């Protein structure tokens, strides 16, 4: 039923049959329609979302009223607001489905109970969080050191299919340049 | 000997006496002189650093040849390049002591062995990484949504003592504005 998540976990730790069974009986997939929010600014984030299929994004609304995408999540990624999750504080972010998506929403109580029953999951979530943090540090480096065109080409080389999947304005804000500049780049006019 | 780290760990998980003893016999403090690097771009990052006393920073050198500080770490913070650490890939970052510092350098082999011997440390490192990632997401939000002056005032309110501890040019690059603008703000001329 959740073989995508089980497979992902098994890349980091080995689960035995009873543990897999426990996870499968505990977790369920949800369908999130395109444009639906699973988190809005001001709400407390009580879940982590594993993306089985589709695409989600985390964004903010900047003082000009424009949406600014800070993170995309596709298949086999987790997306959440860890600070709101841990501190039980109102979130500063929105999390929304970019495509019709299938996710496993893991709420705090369920996760804490799973971690007690299957302690080796701690390692899985540790490594996932550490790698996500490392990737965020790289993203900040790219924002500071690459030109807009370099950022676009770098992203396109790393994620060739993804560039076609998301609306241009979202990708432009993620790469921190205007939608107009994005159109020029894609038209080969830069 | 390492009561600062033990105390920090005990905020998240309880260690018994034998576990504390094991940690104390395994770990040792190192003194890192101001301006010394524990990681340079191109090197593989094999350790995580817990700051017992002092201040460290992670920075990059941007295409103009200017140092850009991406993260500061003070007492009770961990600092490392998680991507290089996990992927065994050359780092894109520098990690340097801003002040004479006392750190516990935890290399990968030692950490992996400690995690096997004291599995509950997985939880500690998971929560630390998740919170650090959450804080990094907030930092990106601030960079995108606050004016330079707002960023300075926000930082000063959150870390009143810290503003005096680090060279202005480092703090200016961390908050993403020029050292000249920083001088004006501090002189109350903005």
Cα distances from A124 to residues A15, A164, B32, B82, B86, in angstroms, run 11, 31, 32, 15, 13
Give the start-to-end residue ranges of the domains of chain A: 3-119
Instruction: Evaluate whether ipTM surpasses 0.90.
Output: yes
Residue to test with chain B: of A83, A87, A106, A137, most B Cβ within 10 A: A137
Contact B137 A84 (CB under 8 A): no
pTM for the full predicted model? 0.94
Measure CB to CB from residue B129 to each of A133, A135, A145 and give the nearest one. Answer: A133
Chain B residue set in contact with A, beta carbons under 8 Å: 58, 60, 62-63, 68, 70-71, 81-86, 92-93, 115, 119-120, 122-123, 125-127, 129-138, 140-141, 144-145
Closest alpha carbon within chain A to B89: A134
Is the CATH number 2.60.120.10 carried by domain B3-119?
Answer: yes
Closest alpha carbon within chain B to A81: B134
Chains A, B: CB contacts within 8 A come to: 112
Q: Tell me the chain B residues in contact with residue A127 when contact means C-beta distances shorter than 8 Å.
A: 86
pLDDT in tens, chain A (190 residues): 568 999 999 999 999 999 999 999 999 899 999 999 999 999 999 999 999 999 999 999 988 899 999 999 999 999 999 999 999 999 999 999 999 999 999 999 999 999 999 999 999 999 999 999 999 999 999 988 998 889 999 999 988 888 888 988 899 989 988 878 888 888 877 7
């Amino acid at each position: 039923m959740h073989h995508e998540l089980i497979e992902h976990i098994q890349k980091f730790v080995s689960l035995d049959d009873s543990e897999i069974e426990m996870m499968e009986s505990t977790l369920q997939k949800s369908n999130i329609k395109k444009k639906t929010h699973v988190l809005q600014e001001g709400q407390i984030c009580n879940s982590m979302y594993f993306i089985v299929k589709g695409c989600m994004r985390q964004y903010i609304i900047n003082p000009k009223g424009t949406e600014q995408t800070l993170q995309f999540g596709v298949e086999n990624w987790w997306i959440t607001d860890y600070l709101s999750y841990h501190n039980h504080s109102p979130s500063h972010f929105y999390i929304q489905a970019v495509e019709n998506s299938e996710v496993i929403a893991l709420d705090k109580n369920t996760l804490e109970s799973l971690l007690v029953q299957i302690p080796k999951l701690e390692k899985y979530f540790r490594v996932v969080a550490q790698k996500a943090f490392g990737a965020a540090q790289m993203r900040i480096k790219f924002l500071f050191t690459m030109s807009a065109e370099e950022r676009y080409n770098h992203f396109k080389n790393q994620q060739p299919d993804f560039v076609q999947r998301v609306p241009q304005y979202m990708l432009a804000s993620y790469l921190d340049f205007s939608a107009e500049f994005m159109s020029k780049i894609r038209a080969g006019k830069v």
